[in-house]
Amino acid sequence: MAKKNSRGFRQVGYSPPDLSAMSEGELQGRRETVAKLWDLVGKADKGDEKAVSAIREILDKNPDLAWRLRNIGKMAERFLVSKMTREEDAAAKEMMEHQLESMRLEIAGEGRSPLEMLLAERIVATWLQVQLFEGLYASGLGKHTLAQANYYQKRLDRAHRNHLSAIRTLAQIRKMGPALQINIAEKQINAATG
């Protein structure tokens, strides 16, 4: 079960604690927890059921560590980057990952909500897909059969629609502005503010 913040909402996505506000003792404890978690992950990967239970206990207390150790969005992104680069091209991979991270931060903006962060990740992921399918389509121009060319064009069109949809959704969320939720006599009232 995810921890709730002081306002009672569940944490969404990667919400790390403020490490700069931690004492040296707290930082050392966190380092030890991370090291223990990595050790347990190794044991769990070998089939140790007790390790899985211990991992669950640690993650219940530190939900941000699940995102730090296994960020599914980043895994998918790395997979796409690997499809766009050669195995030995470590510099290109590193530059692409930095470019994508910069895009994500710029799109999400200052004071971003968890939903805006998730949508910014989606926009970056769909942008990367558009680039991948554009490259696959362009690399086969003049080489593909008509059926293959149609297949790649359809994949590209679908990726482009998904990208525009993610952009549109973020714009709609921002247009609505922050929402205020008030509970009066056990009835929920939602009102737009701003």
Token couple for 55: 């991992």
Of 76-85, 118-127, 130-139, which gets the smallest average pLDDT? 76-85
Coil, helix or strand at residue 95: helix
pLDDT at position 188, please? 58
What residue type is assigned to position 128 of the chain? L
Residue 103 lies in a domain: yes
Residue 7 lies in a domain: no
Q: Is the pLDDT of residue 5 over 80?
A: no
The answer on 62 and 124 residing in a single domain is no
Global pTM value: 0.65
The answer on 95 and 107 residing in a single domain is yes
> Once rounded to an integer, what is the mean pLDDT over residues 66-77?
76
pLDDT-based confidence at 79, cuts 50/70/90?
confident
The answer on 26 and 90 residing in a single domain is no
What pLDDT digit, counting tens, does each position of 38-58 carry?
A: 899 899 999 999 999 999 999
pLDDT at position 64, please? 81
Residue 51 lies in a domain: yes
Residues 6+ apart with CB under 8 A from 176: 192
The answer on 174 and 80 residing in a single domain is yes
The answer on 78 and 46 residing in a single domain is no
Give the total number of structural domains in the chain.
2
The answer on 156 and 76 residing in a single domain is yes
Residue 107 lies in a domain: yes
Token couple for 74: 């980043």
The answer on 78 and 54 residing in a single domain is no
The answer on 136 and 85 residing in a single domain is yes
The answer on 78 and 64 residing in a single domain is no
Higher pLDDT, 124 or 68: 124
- Look up tokens 């060319």; give the residue: 149
Higher pLDDT, 59 or 68: 59
Cβ atoms of residues 3 and 16 within 8 Å: no
Alpha-carbon span 46 to 39, nearest angstrom: 11
Residue 192 lies in a domain: no
Domain range enclosing 43: 19-69
Q: Is the pLDDT of residue 162 over 90?
A: yes
